[in-house]
Structures are given as structure tokens and as C-alpha cells.
């Protein structure tokens, strides 16, 4: 029996649609890709746990910048956790059917944490702007408490926005196909399956893309325009170099997160992109940045490298004394 016929028969009896996640069903060598994602997930958890532990135990890192880095590590861990285990369970164990309520929950959490990733990079850009453009006011304007309050407000606001997005799906009727051409309960592929008017869902989807993708990119670009303007005003070449060096790791993270997403959107606008290419690129965009973010911040940030050396040195002294 085909996925369509199965879901149609179950919809009649249950009153709620039973979705079928098509995703990687027609992709060659998909099992190798799932094995690769399993390794990515384990490494992501270890890398982000490592950077969170270093920030917690090293007092020199208890400042607003590393509150934002710690938040990014939490978001990266959650993002990988809501994507990779679900994806592996769905396709390796052939559990591609998903009930309506579970689909909505999956939709909420995946989009929620993906959105938080972009805003986490905005928080780091905000920290760099204050540190470089207003260095004398940094410790009064940008405190640990201020950064924590901003993060809490962002989480509450995001929760409300994505909850509205999910609730708008409940007003739709699914009387035809319930096969989702994605690797999870993706908002776009789901609402496009509905039989009734989806204009509200479309408008809200465009609003969310603008709010959580385009707006963060614009804010980051404007932030670095302010930083570059400030750097040109510096008379010291060494001071300019040091200030720019503190931004290197953040710029790499921005490129890793936004470039693949932009490529997918531009390709979809310019020409019809193959569904498998879109699914593969979207899944990599959701799983690779959470792995690379802690590695890049560890290797490219002198403060973290110094903190790691201090922790190792303290442990070595402790072992010698004992």
C-alpha cells in the first residue's frame, strides 16, 4: 500500500491527518548519510559540552561575551538533538508515519532552535559592537545580567511566534496527500498540503523568514559596518589588528550558518531545485554548524585556549599534590 492510500484510510477513521515523512526515501546511499549524521551528533554533543564546561569552571570567562557563547552552545546542542535522533529514528527504523500532534511538536522545536541559532549570532555581534565601538561603556551597558535578560526575552518571544505558526496549522484541512517532502515536519511542505485557504500561513511564513533570517543578517551586516568604521578611526595598526581578530571566529560562524541557507533560497528562486538537493542541503545546514561552532570558537579564540591551558595546569598541579 502506498503512503498516500495508507494515510487517507487512517485519516477517515481518526479524524486527524497521519503524515508520512518522505524525506530521504528516494535518495541513493542514504544509510551512509545517516551513519555520518550519527557521528556528527556524538561529536556535536561532546564539543558543545566541552565548551560549556570550560566557560562554567573558568572565572575569567564569566563575562557577557561568553554568556552569549554559552547560550550558542546550548542552542547548538538542542538544535542537533531535535533534528538528528528524530531523522535517524524516522528513516533507519522506517517510522515515517507521524501523528498530527507529534508532527506539530516536531515542527515547533526544529524551527524554534533553528531560529535561535541566527539570533545567537546577533547577540555575539551586539557584544562585539559594544566592545569595539563603545569600549569605555562596555562594562556598564553590556553586563552579564543584561545579556541574560536579552536571552530570556528572545526565548519568550520566539516561543510565542513559533507557537502561533503551529496553531495556524491546526485550522487547515488535509483531504488529499499527507506526504511531506522533507526530512521532518517542515512548515512549508506541511501547510502546502492543505485543501483550504493557506494565505495566512504563507504570509506568516514570510514574516518569520524576514524576522528570523533576513533581519538577523541585516543586523549583523550593520554591526560590522559600525565596527569597520570604528577600526578606520583607530590610529594604531596593532589595536586595529587586535580588534579585528576578536571578530574572526564570529564571522566564520556567520558564514557557515547563512551561506548554505542563502544558496538554497536563491537556487529555489532562480530555478527549480531538486527536492533531494533541497532536503540534503537543509539537513546539512541544520546539523553541521552546531558541530563547527564550538570547534571554531575553541581554536580561533585566544581567551578560550588560555582558559583550557589554565584548567589543564590546575588539574596537573592537583594530581602532583595528591
Helix (H), strand (E) at residue 179: strand 179-180
Residue 175 has pLDDT above 70, yes or no: yes
Mean pLDDT across the chain, nearest whole number? 86
- What pLDDT is recorded for position 66? 93
Phi–psi pair at 59, nearest 5 degrees:
-65, -30
Grid cell, residue 188, equals: 512549508
Residue 108 has pLDDT above 50, yes or no: yes
Per-domain residue ranges for the chain? 13-321
Question: Could you tell me which CATH number the domain at 13-321 has?
Answer: 1.20.1070.10
pLDDT in tens, 115-154: 999 999 999 999 999 998 888 888 898 999 999 999 999 9
Flag the least confident range among 41-45, 191-195, 298-302.
298-302
Residue 227 has pLDDT above 60, yes or no: yes
pLDDT in tens, 245-266: 778 888 888 998 898 888 877 7
DSSP code of 271?
S
Q: Cell 559540552 maps to which residue? A: 49
Residue 186 has pLDDT above 80, yes or no: yes
Q: State the pLDDT confidence band at 12, using cuts at 50, 70 and 90.
A: very low
Residue 5 has pLDDT above 50, yes or no: no
Residue range 2-16: mean pLDDT, rounded: 47
The residue among 248, 22, 233, 18 whose CA lies nearest residue 133 is: 233
Q: Cell 558564514 maps to which residue? A: 255
Distance CA 283, CA 275 (A): 12
- What pLDDT is recorded for position 307? 83
The residue among 249, 264, 238, 223 whose CA lies nearest residue 51 is: 249
- What pLDDT is recorded for position 264? 77
- What pLDDT is recorded for position 3? 53
Amino acid at each position: 500500500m502506498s503512503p498516500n492510500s495508507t494515510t487517507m484510510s487512517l485519516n477517515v477513521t481518526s479524524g486527524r491527518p497521519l503524515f508520512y515523512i518522505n524525506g530521504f526515501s528516494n535518495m541513493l546511499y542514504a544509510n551512509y548519510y545517516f551513519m555520518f549524521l550519527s557521528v556528527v551528533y556524538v561529536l556535536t554533543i561532546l564539543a558543545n559540552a566541552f565548551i560549556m564546561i570550560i566557560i562554567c569552571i573558568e572565572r575569567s570567562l564569566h563575562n557577557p561575551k561568553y554568556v552569549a557563547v554559552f547560550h550558542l552552545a546550548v542552542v547548538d546542542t538542542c538544535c542537533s538533538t531535535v533534528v538528528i535522533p528524530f531523522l535517524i529514528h524516522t528513516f533507519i527504523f522506517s517510522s515515517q508515519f507521524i501523528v498530527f500532534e507529534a508532527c506539530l511538536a516536531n515542527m515547533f522545536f526544529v524551527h524554534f532552535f533553528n531560529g535561535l541559532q541566527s539570533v545567537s549570532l546577533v547577540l555575539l555581534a551586539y557584544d562585539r559592537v559594544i566592545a569595539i565601538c563603545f569600549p569605555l561603556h562596555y562594562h556598564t551597558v553590556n553586563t552579564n545580567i543584561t545579556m541574560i535578560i536579552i536571552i530570556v526575552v528572545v526565548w519568550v518571544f520566539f516561543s510565542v511566534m513559533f507557537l502561533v505558526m503551529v496553531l495556524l496549522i491546526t485550522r487547515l484541512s488535509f483531504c488529499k496527500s499527507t506526504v511531506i517532502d522533507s526530512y521532518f515536519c517542515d512548515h512549508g511542505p506541511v501547510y502546502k498540503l492543505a485543501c483550504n485557504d493557506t494565505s495566512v500561513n504563507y504570509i506568516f511564513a514570510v514574516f518569520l523568514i524576514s524576522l528570523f533570517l533576513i533581519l538577523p543578517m541585516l543586523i549583523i551586516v550593520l554591526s560590522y559596518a559600525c565596527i569597520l568604521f570604528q577600526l578606520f578611526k583607530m590610529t594604531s595598526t596593532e589595536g586595529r589588528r587586535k580588534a579585528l581578530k576578536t571578530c574572526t571566529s564570529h564571522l566564520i560562524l556567520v558564514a557557515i550558518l547563512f551561506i548554505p541557507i542563502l544558496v538554497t533560497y536563491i537556487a529555489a528562486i532562480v530555478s527549480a531545485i531538486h527536492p533531494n538537493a533541497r532536503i540534503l542541503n537543509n539537513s546539512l545546514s541544520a546539523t553541521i554548524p552546531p558541530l563547527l561552532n564550538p570547534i571554531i570558537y575553541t581554536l580561533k579564540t585566544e581567551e578560550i585556549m588560555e582558559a583550557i591551558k589554565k584548567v589543564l595546569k590546575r588539574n596537573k598541579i592537583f594530581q602532583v599534590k595528591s
